[in-house]
Structures are given as structure tokens and as C-alpha cells.
Amino acid sequence: MKAHSLYLHLTKHVISFTLVGISSDPATVLNLLMQNDLNHRKRNNDYDYALLRIERSLITVTVSKSPLSFVPQVMTPIHRPTTTVVVPAMNEARNLPHVLPLIPAWVDEVILVDGNSKDNTVDVARALLPHIRIVKQSGRGKGNALREGFAAATGDIIVMIDADGSTDPGEIGNFVRHLRSGADFVKGSRFLQGAGSSDISRIRNGGNACITMAVRILFGGRYSDLCYGYNAFWRSVLPKLDLDCNGFEIETLMGIRALKARLKIVEIHSFEHERIHGTSNLHAVRDGWRIFRLILRERFMKRIAPIQDADASSAPTS
């Protein structure tokens, strides 16, 4: 990955660099430093390099007027966490061309969980992204599809998006950025400043407001949106989330379990677009009732078997 930008902060003896999109190759780092303002400042002030320390994307160079030599051996590679995007899909062949090509090229792994599609969803996915991993869903429901996708993921970071075009792949970088800045779980919200939705109905909007308020009262936290499936998290927190439901309610369950596990949660603005083709399998009343049952279970009952009934057969995408 090529370096895209360089930011400098100069104090009396320390120049700090924050590099965005920098390669982990030490030669690339050294070349970038030599070609930018540090070289100019060194000539004008008779500075020389004394120490180069790399911590993630922050590079600190301690400088001195004494004739010290730069020692490349002190450099260590920058660790860039790998990212997996999980896309549950069933009969989404017409929508995938509007989704998969928009996933950023720096994403390391894309997993499509196919819910036994009757159309050519899998063929279209492979044509669009030859390196995509296909996971054949063994169960039914969006929650089950996501759980199987999470289990197959190998990236340090997991981002979940929908296959119907409602979630914007262009926002993936913002989710990942907040995780790399210290968050454990990043939740998209349609109700923060700069966010919105062109798809939510009045009934769904009202139901989401009631669900969000119920969770805030019973579990605490400051969520503004609990029925939106654009989330990202470190794969290492999956055991703490311990997901065990099969339907659309998995989106709310993730938020509740993150609170109960005392994870560092960040909610960020996101825009929900209308489904491009086809109709949603989400039923506001039926799935809303399932979510309320889940909330009551999480608050007042010991852990029991996941909610399973005929409704769990709903398609994996919203």
C-alpha cells in the first residue's frame, strides 16, 4: 500500500509524523521521510536523526544538532490489522453489482454467506470479486448467516454489511478507523448528526425508538439506533458477544451483549439507502416482537436456548 499523506508536528526536539496508508516496508518509510519536510528542516537547522520509533501509524523522530547518524535498524514494521467484510445474501444477484465493487480495495477478505439462493447470487459474486470467499449457510435466518460468516472470518477486524445496497461500503473505512483508535465495537446509527435513512418507514422508526429506549432503561448506554445492521468489531471480542440467535434480532443482541461485556462502544453516523432491487424480508410487527422478547430474555432470564420459531426462516438480508 502506498503512502498517501504525511502530517508533521514540530516541537523543540521531537518531530512527530502521522502517516495515513503507509507501507510497512522500512525502505518506503525512510524514503518518505527523506523526501518531505523533515529533510528540509534538517538542512535549515543543522539537525540530524537520532531515533526513529514506530507505534502503529505514529512515527516519532527525536532530532539533535549533534552529528548523529540515522540507524535504519531501529525501525520496526507497522502492524496493520487485517479486515474481513461479511455479507449475508439470499437471492441478491441483481443487487451485488451495486455493493461488492464498492468495497475498498484495502479490505483483506470478503465473505459472502449464501442462504441457499435460488438465483445466481454466487456466480455473480465470484464474477465481481474473484477472490471472494463463499460460505454456504447451513441454517436459516440473517442471524444464523452472520454467525457462520463471523466463524469463518480470519481478519482482525470484522465489518458486517447488507447485500441489498442499503448499507454503503464506502463507510467501511470510518468504522475501521474508530476501531483502530481504540474502540472495541463500532455501531452505525441513522439518527446521529450527518446520518439518515431513505428506507425506514414510520412504523419501523417508531418501533426502533421504543426498542432503543427500552435497552437504555434496562441496560444503560447511550445508543440512538439498535435496529440497524451496520456494525464493526474486533474478532477477538466474539467470545464476549457469544451470539446465539438466528433472526434479524441479532443486530439488537450485539448491542446489548457489547454493553453487558463492558466493551468500549462507539456509535457513528451512517446513511441507510433504499433496497435497490427486490423486497425486504423484514416484517416490522413480527420481528419487532422477537426483538422485545430478546430484550426481556437478556434482562430478566438466565441464558436459555436461542429464540427459534417459524420466523427464523426469514431471509438473511434486511
- Kindly report which listed range (58-62, 131-135, 273-277) carries the lowest average pLDDT score: 58-62
Cell of 157: 477486524
**How much is the pLDDT for 22?**
45
Residue 56's alpha-carbon distances to 90, 180, 224, in angstroms, are: 38, 9, 31
Residue 28 binned pLDDT confidence (cut-offs 50, 70, 90):
low
CB 227 within 8 A of CB 210: no
Rounded to an integer, the average pLDDT of 272-301 is 83
Mean pLDDT for the chain?
79
- Residue 277: pLDDT band (50, 70, 90) is confident
Report strand pairing: 58-64 vs 48-55: antiparallel
> pLDDT digits over 136-170, tens only?
999 999 999 999 999 999 999 999 999 999 999 99
Do residues 252 and 176 make contact, with C-beta atoms less than 8 angstroms apart? no
Task: Give me the mean pLDDT over the 308-314 stretch.
Answer: 43
Query: Which one-letter amino acid corresponds to residue 76?
Result: T
Instruction: Give mean pLDDT, residues 178-186.
Output: 97
Does the pLDDT value for residue 254 go beyond 70?
Answer: yes
Architecture of domain 83-313: Alpha-Beta Complex (3.90)
Which of these ranges, 36-45, 95-104, 132-141, 177-186, has the smallest mean pLDDT?
A: 36-45
Is the pLDDT at 273 greater than 50, yes or no? yes
Task: Using the structure block, give the residue that is written with the C-alpha cell 448491542.
Answer: 255
Give 146 or 25, the one with higher predicted confidence: 146
Find the range with the poorest average confidence among 18-27, 156-165, 231-240, 291-300.
Answer: 18-27
- End-to-end Cα distance, the chain: 34
Rg of the chain over all Cα atoms, to the nearest angstrom: 23
Q: Angle 284-300/202-219 helices, nearest 10 degrees?
A: 0
Band (14; pLDDT cuts 50, 70, 90): very low
Whether the pLDDT of residue 13 is over 60: the answer is: no
Domain residue ranges of the chain, discontinuous segments joined by +: 5-74, 83-313
Of the two residues 270 and 278, the one the predictor is more confident about is 270
What integer pLDDT is reported at residue 62 of this predicted model? 47
**pLDDT band with cut points at 50, 70 and 90 for residue 186:** very high
Q: Which of 29-33, 195-199, 201-205 reaches the highest mean pLDDT?
A: 195-199
Q: Which of 33-47, 175-189, 222-236, 251-265 has the lowest mean pLDDT?
A: 33-47
Task: Find the mean pLDDT for residues 219-240.
Answer: 95
Q: What confidence category does residue 315 fall into, taking pLDDT thresholds of 50, 70 and 90? A: very low
Secondary structure string (H, E, C) spanning the chain: CCCCEEEEEECCCEEEEEEECCCCCHHHHHHHHHHCHHHHHHHHHCCEEEEEEEECCEEEEEEECCCCCCCHHHCCCCCCCCEEEEEEECCCCCCHHHCHHHCCCCCCEEEEEECCCCCCHHHHHHHHCCCCEEEECCCCCHHHHHHHHHHHCCCCEEEECCCCCCCCHHHHHHHHHHHHCCCCEEEEECCCCCCEECCCCHHHHHHHHHHHHHHHHHHCCCCCCCCCCCEEEEHHHHHHHCCCCCCCCHHHHHHHHHHHCCCCEEEEECEECCCCCCCCCCCHHHHHHHHHHHHHHHHHCCCCCCCCCHHHHCCCCC
Select the more confidently predicted residue: 235 or 199. Answer: 235
Closest Cα to residue 276, out of 85, 97, 87, 125?
A: 97
Q: Provide mean pLDDT across the span 203-226.
A: 91
Average pLDDT over residues 294-311: 68
Find out whether 251 and 265 touch, Cβ atoms under 8 Å: no
241 neighbors 258 (Cβ within 8 angstroms) = yes
pLDDT value, residue 16: 45
Cell 459472502, located at residue: 112
Say yes or no to pLDDT of 286 above 60. yes
